């Protein structure tokens, strides 16, 4: 048996930054990670056939976010601003897209500004925009909520979306050419330099606790003791059925916390990364009818509605994003079936045949985060009940049990790696001060 000041469950962004900060403050820290790697939903791989590192999970820094950019600078890691034009394909027709592409957007924001009592965005649309003339608006908003926020319109908070959309936010999007995992590796190395310990293949199954003491048991029958514990489990794991892989048996139970987690939203996602012989979408080529020069993002009415390139890098790589209820609909597809779906989708988007797309294909990587038992989805979104739920899970239990992660962040960067970093940092500082 080993004894520590703080034990942390999960070596993702939140857990590693919390561990690094606690170790710097002189705390004896142990991180227990169920996987055979660090990073959680950040996972960069080097795969044969690809000319660049492949981001199977988180890829972007969404704006000039202080914690993320500060850590990148501290680690000395290069980050580039996403470039390129946005394009849209609907009913087979291609056009360049812009921020004003959703008709009646100003009217939507005006109606939202008048809302005083929160309600799901789906209900809001049906109440305020029920007529046939607003069908396009309803479909556009639904597509955005499901695709970007990975949310269900029957649950997503209208007031939270109002806050998100009311900000005139044309913030830059950054990515790391060397891969996001390099930043997590930097944190892990720095944590260990400060005396922190990180254990992989350590799936936590049971936690027994009383004020000022926790006993943690792992699947390999090892026991760790600590004065305090930080849980950084993805929200999808908290919401899983009891006895599912990754769930933790608590003694005594924490029913208020369990219930609060059930009130929050967590979206599904399947991510596609495909490399081709060349960036055929940039060329005047008889193989492709739809040329999209300087392509950055591509939005559409296709089965996989969102794609993007590696701009400003010139790698002939397209990333596809299938999120929300659409991802749930395809979650039981095999990787072979999902690849066919991706090829057929790209054939539609570029006005060519599936055979042409398949002939161009060099390498593929498809990650279904929704069926991963240690994740069970993508990231959190705000429901009508989220604000009250966050008040519960943001507090410690007896100054002994603490909770962190992107789902516990309440602010404009919700659902991002920045949210995970900020949450872990805040909890670490609370523990040091206490």
First to last CA, the chain: 26
d(CA 2, CA 28): 11
Question: Does 14 carry a binding-site annotation?
Answer: yes
Residue in the block written with tokens 């570029």: 350
CA distance 232 to 11: 8
Burial of 386 (0-12, 13-18, 19+ CB in 10 A): buried
Annotated ligand binding at 215? The verdict is no
Cα(116)–Cα(135) distance, rounded to whole angstroms?
A: 24
Beta bridge partner(s), residue 86 = 297
* Token duo for residue 388: 């009250």
Distance CA 120, CA 386 (A): 12
- Residue 123: partners with Cβ closer than 8 Å, 6 or more residues away: 154, 158
Ligand-binding annotation for 395, yes or no, is no
Is 204 labelled as part of a ligand binding site?
yes
Q: Name the CA radius of gyration of the chain, rounded.
A: 22
Q: Look at phi and psi of residue 354 and say left if phi exceeds 0, alpha if psi is from -120 to 50, else beta.
A: alpha
Q: Do 302 and 321 contact (CB within 8 A), yes or no? A: no
Using DSSP's 3-state secondary structure scheme, residue 341 falls into helix
Q: Which residues are annotated as a binding site for FAD?
A: 14, 33-34, 204
Q: Which residues are annotated as a binding site?
A: 14, 33-34, 204
């Amino acid at each position: 048996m080993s004894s520590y000041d703080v034990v942390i469950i999960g070596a993702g962004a939140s857990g590693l930054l919390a561990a690094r900060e606690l170790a710097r403050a002189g705390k004896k820290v142990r991180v227990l990670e169920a996987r055979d790697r660090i990073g959680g939903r950040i996972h960069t791989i080097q795969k044969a056939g690809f000319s660049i590192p492949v981001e199977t999970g988180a890829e972007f820094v969404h704006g000039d976010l202080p914690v993320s950019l500060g850590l990148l600078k501290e680690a000395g890691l290069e980050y580039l601003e996403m470039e390129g034009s946005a394009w849209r394909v609907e009913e087979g027709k291609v056009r360049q897209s812009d921020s004003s592409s959703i008709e009646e957007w100003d009217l939507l924001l005006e109606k939202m500004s008048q809302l005083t009592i929160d309600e799901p965005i789906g209900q809001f649309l049906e109440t305020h925009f029920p007529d046939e003339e607003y069908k396009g608006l309803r479909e556009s908003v639904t597509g955005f909520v499901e695709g970007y926020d990975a949310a269900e319109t029957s649950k997503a908070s209208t007031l939270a979306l109002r806050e998100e959309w009311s900000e005139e936010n044309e913030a830059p999007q950054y990515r790391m050419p060397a891969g996001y995992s390099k930043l997590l590796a930097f944190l892990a190395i720095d944590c260990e330099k400060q005396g922190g310990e990180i254990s992989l293949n350590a799936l936590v199954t049971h936690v027994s606790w009383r004020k000022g003491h926790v006993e943690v048991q792992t699947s390999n029958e090892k026991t760790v003791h600590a004065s305090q514990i930080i849980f950084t489990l993805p929200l999808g794991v908290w919401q899983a059925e009891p006895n599912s892989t990754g769930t933790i048996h608590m003694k005594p139970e924490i029913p208020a916390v369990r219930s609060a987690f059930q009130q929050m939203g967590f979206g599904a996602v399947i991510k596609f990364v495909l490399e081709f012989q060349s960036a055929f979408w940039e060329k005047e080529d008889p193989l492709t009818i739809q040329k999209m020069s300087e392509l950055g993002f591509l939005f559409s009415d296709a089965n996989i509605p969102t794609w993007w390139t590696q701009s400003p890098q010139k790698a002939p790589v397209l990333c596809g994003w299938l999120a929300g209820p659409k991802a749930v609909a395809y979650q039981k597809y095999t990787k072979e079936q999902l690849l066919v779906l991706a090829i057929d989708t790209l054939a539609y988007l570029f006005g060519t045949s599936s055979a042409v797309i398949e002939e161009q294909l060099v390498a593929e990587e498809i990650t279904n985060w929704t069926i991963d038992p240690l994740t069970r989805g993508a990231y959190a979104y705000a429901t009508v009940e989220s604000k009250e739920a966050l008040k519960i899970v943001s507090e410690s239990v007896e100054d002994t049990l603490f909770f962190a992660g992107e789902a516990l962040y309440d602010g404009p960067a919700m659902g991002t790696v920045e949210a995970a970093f900020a949450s872990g940092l805040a909890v670490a500082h609370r523990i040091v001060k206490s």
